[in-house]
Structure 1
Amino acid sequence: HWLPLLPEWIITNILESLILPKLQHEVDNWNPTTDPLPIHSWIHPWLPLMDKQLEILYPTIRMKLGVALNNWQPSDSSALIIIRPWIKVFSPQVMEAFLCRTVLPKLEYCIQTLDINPNHQTIAPVEWVLQWREALPLHHFVHIFDKHFFPKWLQVLGSWLAGSPNYHEIMK
């Protein structure tokens, strides 16, 4: 509300001298595993006023999110909920590098350990991986499925077809 009334140099001074240090202090004390209020809810309102100046906070935010993701499992969708607001804030290259370091190995392991069984197939792990499609570039999914899913799937399908299969069941 004060923006139209104050000279730009005063606004800049307030943001850089008063607001940014307080935000830095709060980010330093923020714990993503225990804080009930998501960090984006109190950082993002400052984006229109301090866009580039807030970049000083991002390495700490990513580091703390990365530590919080150490014990994360793909079946828990809360990680994506926490990361989603940052997809457009962090540069695409930085976000991709962050996710490749923290999330992608767990998604890859999820598909790598998937048991393909036509008699009792559970597709939940595939859904857990695919929910990250808005955050990760497509080529990472191509790699995961090409390396870990399709070889096993083709082997099971080949074994299934080699016997005397029920083609109606295969079609389903």
Structure 2
Amino acid sequence: MPGSLARTTAPVAKMMRLWNYKQGSGLGARGQGIIAPIKPIRHCSTAGIGHSETTYKNGLHGAPAPSPPPQDEWHESAAVSRALGLERECYEKTLALLRDVKLQGDDSVETAEALAAIVKSEEVLRGKKRAPGAWRAALPTPAVQHIVERVLTPRIAVKAREWEPLWSPGCDHWLRPWIPLIGHLPESLYGTVESKISGGCYDVISPWKDYLGPTHWEIFSRRHILPKLTRWLQQLKITPPKQRDTKFCEVMSWTPLVRTEDVVSILEQEFFGKWESALRHWLQSARPSSGEATAWCAGWKNVFTAELLHDERVLARLEAGVATVDREAEDLSRLVCHA
């Protein structure tokens, strides 16, 4: 019976009774002590005395913290508001530019008709339930063509040649205001812009995903972004348990600019084999605890973007890493338990 005095010596039992001990209760002023003996627990792992499964930091400081799901309606409303504001700015700048062209002596019929069309288009801008794109759609095609080809493109070309990304990374003043009207950078200027931004940092290159046409952006990303990501992954050194090389976090920061399937292909070619090899070597040489190794894998998973984690190939490779940890733990457990 737990808490019984029957299994102790007579002097000890006598002393316990003098101290008002009651059989079946615990020690302490209020009998709060344990009455059942502590049972030994056999551990078949490499964890030492005092080990506890705590949150593990694997050195991936660039890992983004989990963010709450975006409020789609709010984001959509904000995007619409920005688009409408940009249309208003484009209208005002186009109107001022055409009037200036007229003052400089351009008496052509095309310019006069384009100016009249822009003036009339203000009625669309005053609409209460205007959708983005409605303003440009209301403009006559000949007027838009004349403005873009004869008025805007020559001026944008001059600004593009003068533009120095190193000193002024953005193109808010010479290109962005005209996007609602021209749609994207005129095709004839692609070579000029490509030569200026190809070696640029993220802040220089990222806006051009919206400013270049889809075809030219695809060409640009394959020429300049994907090779950069490939090179970084080739140079990446994976060093469990602490990751000191931050190139992988840099790769993840660039992935929104390129297609997910292209990034997955690069990861399969340049990353996952290296990652799995480093994991196996660590498990076999350092013998980390199962909890530590699993947390290391989870730390890597947290660095991947949400788009990549929705790809079945990426998830399969990450889960394969966890499965490797489980197999190594089972093998080691059998060896220890049979020793």
TM-score surpassing 0.5?
Answer: yes
1:2-51 per-position Cα deviation (integer Å, ceiling 9, x unaligned): 422599667765654444322211212222223x2622442021122333
Q: Name the larger-Rg structure.
A: 2
Separation of aligned partners in 1, 2:236 and 2:215? 29
**Equivalent runs, 1:55-134 vs 2, <5 Å:** 55-66=187-198, 69=199, 79-122=201-244, 124-134=246-256
Separation of aligned partners in 1, 2:152 and 2:256? 32
Deviation at 1:155, TM superposition (A): 1.0
Q: Which residue of 1 is the match for residue 259 of structure 2?
A: 137
Q: Which residue of 2 is the match for residue 32 of structure 1?
A: 165
Separation of aligned partners in 2, 1:46 and 1:30? 16
Separation of aligned partners in 2, 1:53 and 1:107? 25
Deviation at 1:147, TM superposition (A): 1.4
Separation of aligned partners in 2, 1:102 and 1:162? 39
**Counterpart of 1:93 in structure 2: which amino acid?**
T
Separation of aligned partners in 1, 2:147 and 2:289? 73
Q: 1:153 to 1:46 in 2, by over 3 A?
A: same
Q: 1:29 to 1:112 in 2, by over 3 A?
A: same
The answer to which of 153-162 and 107-116 deviates more is 153-162
More helix by share: 1
Q: Which residue of 2 is the match for residue 168 of structure 1?
A: 291
Gaps of 5+ in 2: 1-91, 96-117, 122-138, 296-339
Q: 1:37 to 1:106 in 2, by over 3 A?
A: closer
CA contact (8 A) 1:96 1:137 kept: no
| Equivalent residue for 1:20, pick from 143, 148, 153 | 153
CA contact (8 A) 2:238 2:275 kept: yes
Provide the aligned C-alpha RMSD in A. Answer: 2.8
Task: Give the secondary-structure state (helix, strand or coil) at the position aligned to 1:103.
Answer: helix
Separation of aligned partners in 2, 1:154 and 1:87? 33
CA contact (8 A) 1:24 1:57 kept: yes
CA contact (8 A) 1:80 1:132 kept: yes
**Counterpart of 2:234 in structure 1: which amino acid?**
Q
Q: Which residue of 1 is the match for residue 114 of structure 2?
A: none
CA contact (8 A) 2:238 2:245 kept: no
1:41-77 per-position Cα deviation (integer Å, ceiling 9, x unaligned): 42021122333783332332122212xx0xx5xxxxx
| Equivalent residue for 2:181, pick from 43, 49, 71 | 49
Deviation at 1:135, TM superposition (A): 0.9
Separation of aligned partners in 1, 2:172 and 2:283? 51
Between the two structures, name the one with larger relative contact order (CA 8 Å, sep ≥ 6).
Answer: 2
Separation of aligned partners in 1, 2:209 and 2:263? 17
Q: Which residue of 1 is the match for residue 119 of structure 2?
A: 4
Deviation at 1:137, TM superposition (A): 0.5
**Counterpart of 2:154 in structure 1: which amino acid?**
P
